[in-house]
Amino acid sequence: MNKVITAFIAAALTLGAFAQGRNRRPNPDAKLHRFSTTVEKERPQLNQETRDLIAAYRRNPTEENRTALRKQVAANYDAVVARKKAKLEELKRTARHQSKIDEMQVIVDEMLRDREQRIDASMARFTDSRFRPGLRNRTDAYLPVLGAKGNNVSIGRTPVTEAEWAKFTGKPVAPGKERLPVTNVSIQDAEKFCEWLAKNDPSHAYRLPTEAEWELAAGHMPKDADFNCGADGVISSVDKYTNTKGACGGIDFWGNCWEWTSTKRGGSGCAVKGGAFDSKRTECRTEARMETRKAASGYPNVTFRVVREDR
């Protein structure tokens, strides 16, 4: 009798789970997970009030207009923080795994920690003289890093490819690997590549980005964006995920391969950004600042992207 009851209960549970599953439809646009109801392949659009204040400042860059714009940017930011806090409290009540709560807690803590820095970064972008509607749709080899301090700072649309590296070394690249990001390159080797570029271009200087410049160029990582992290299992072409764009319009910022920066960390190390094909998705976030590699070494999942400045 007990076996019959047990079997009945199991069947009922299975039927309930099946019915619940039938009500959950796969989302073809979701990349974070199969049934994701949150799709944010591109960062949210600016509201009209913010657009109007940006336009007002550009027409008349007074301190009054700048203050009004910064106040609106801060209000937008705080509204996002409030939503993240609310989500954290919801997860504390409903999440089945502590890891989900921990992930959201890290995001909230980072947003609170970096509040002034992120607001300043947004202001730097919006008040940059190069700011234009549609700027992110350009496919130039180098794209403006809005808000970066320097002489017309731009950054490579993609990481340096095997084909580009082969031109520098004079060694052939294996067929089919031309558009893969170059790897196993140390900081010193990357700097030599930048020097080589400069020799062939008297109008520009070339170098690695700082961590801050890389973050400005990438911008916030859309939470359901397409990129190579747990997707391909190996390194992919730099232009496989062209619909996922950074703030500057560049591609392949997140996942695929970590990217060197010139920012020193931990003695002989330099910060790397963006995660890789074998990283956790949370490690790929722009604001994550825990990863470091030894500058003198090359790694099979670390590449680099080049910054260009006017001389």
Which pLDDT belongs to residue 44?
A: 62
The reported pLDDT for the residue numbered 26 is: 52
Do 71 and 206 lie in one domain? The reply is no
* CATH number of the domain bearing residue 203: 3.90.1580.10
Rounded Cα distance, 176 and 238, in Å: 13
Domain tally for the chain?
2
Q: Which of 267, 274, 263 is nearest to 303 (CA)?
A: 274
Q: Same domain for 205 and 286? A: yes
Asked if residue 228 lies in contact with residue 256, where contact means CB atoms within 8 angstroms, the answer is yes
* Residue at a domain's end among 126, 156, 183: 126
My answer on whether 114 and 149 are in the same domain is no
In a domain, 180, yes or no: yes
How crowded is residue 232: how many other Cβ atoms within 10 Å of its Cβ? 15
DSSP calls for 253-305: -SSSSEEEEEEE-SSSEEEEES--TTS-GGGGSTT----EEETT---TTEE--
Residues 212 and 277 occupy one common structural domain: yes
What pLDDT is recorded for position 303? 98
Given 69, 103, 126, the domain boundary residue is 126
212 belongs to a structural domain: yes
Point out the domain boundary residue: 126, 156, 178. Answer: 126
| Structural contact between residues 53 and 68, judged by C-beta atoms closer than 8 angstroms | yes
- Same-domain status, 75 and 219: no
Contact by Cβ (8 Å): 272, 291: yes
Token pair 């020097």 is found at 195
pLDDT digits (tens, 9 = 90+) for 56-83: 999 999 999 999 999 999 999 999 999 9
Contact call for residues 182 and 300 (beta carbons, < 8 A):
no
Task: Kindly state whether residue 1 falls inside one of the protein's structural domains.
Answer: no
Nearest alpha carbon to residue 62 among 73, 53, 50, 49: 53
Contact 265, 310 (CB under 8 A): no
The CA distance from 4 to 112, in Å, is 56
Flag whether 14 is in a domain. Answer: no
Cα–Cα dist 282/104, whole Å: 10
CA distances to 14, 85, 143, 146 from 246, in Å: 44, 25, 11, 12
Q: Are 306 and 197 in contact (CB under 8 A)?
A: yes
> Based on the domain organization, do 270 and 155 belong to the same domain?
yes
Are both 86 and 166 inside the same structural domain? no
Amino acid 25: pLDDT: 52
pLDDT value, residue 43: 57
Cβ count near 281 (within 10 Å):
19
For strands 307-310 and 204-207, give the pairing.
antiparallel
Domain that holds residue 198: 136-310
One domain, residues 145 and 233: yes
Among 113, 101, 206, 85, residue whose Cα is nearest residue 153: 206
Query: Residue 61 and residue 133: Cα distance in Å, rounded?
Result: 18
User: Does any domain span residue 103?
Assistant: yes
Specify if 8 maps to a domain: no
238 domain-assigned? yes
- Statement to judge: residues 145 and 98 lie in one domain: no
- Domain assignment of residue 250, yes or no: yes
298 and 163 in a common domain: yes
Same domain for 164 and 271? yes
C-alpha to C-alpha distance for 144 and 173, rounded to whole angstroms: 30
- For 178-215, b where at least 16 C-beta lie within 10 A, e where not — what string? ebbbbbebbbebbbebbeebbeeeeebbbbbbbbbbbb
- 207 and 174 in a common domain: yes
- The candidate with the shortest Cα–Cα distance to 173, out of 160, 186, 158, is 160
How do the pLDDT tens digits run along the chain, 311 residues long?
444 444 443 444 333 433 334 444 555 555 454 434 444 455 567 899 999 999 999 999 999 999 999 999 999 999 999 999 999 999 999 999 998 899 889 889 989 999 998 899 899 888 988 887 777 888 899 999 999 988 899 999 999 999 999 999 999 999 999 999 999 999 999 999 999 999 989 999 999 999 999 999 999 888 778 999 988 899 999 999 999 999 999 999 999 999 999 999 988 899 999 999 999 988 999 999 889 999 999 999 999 999 999 98
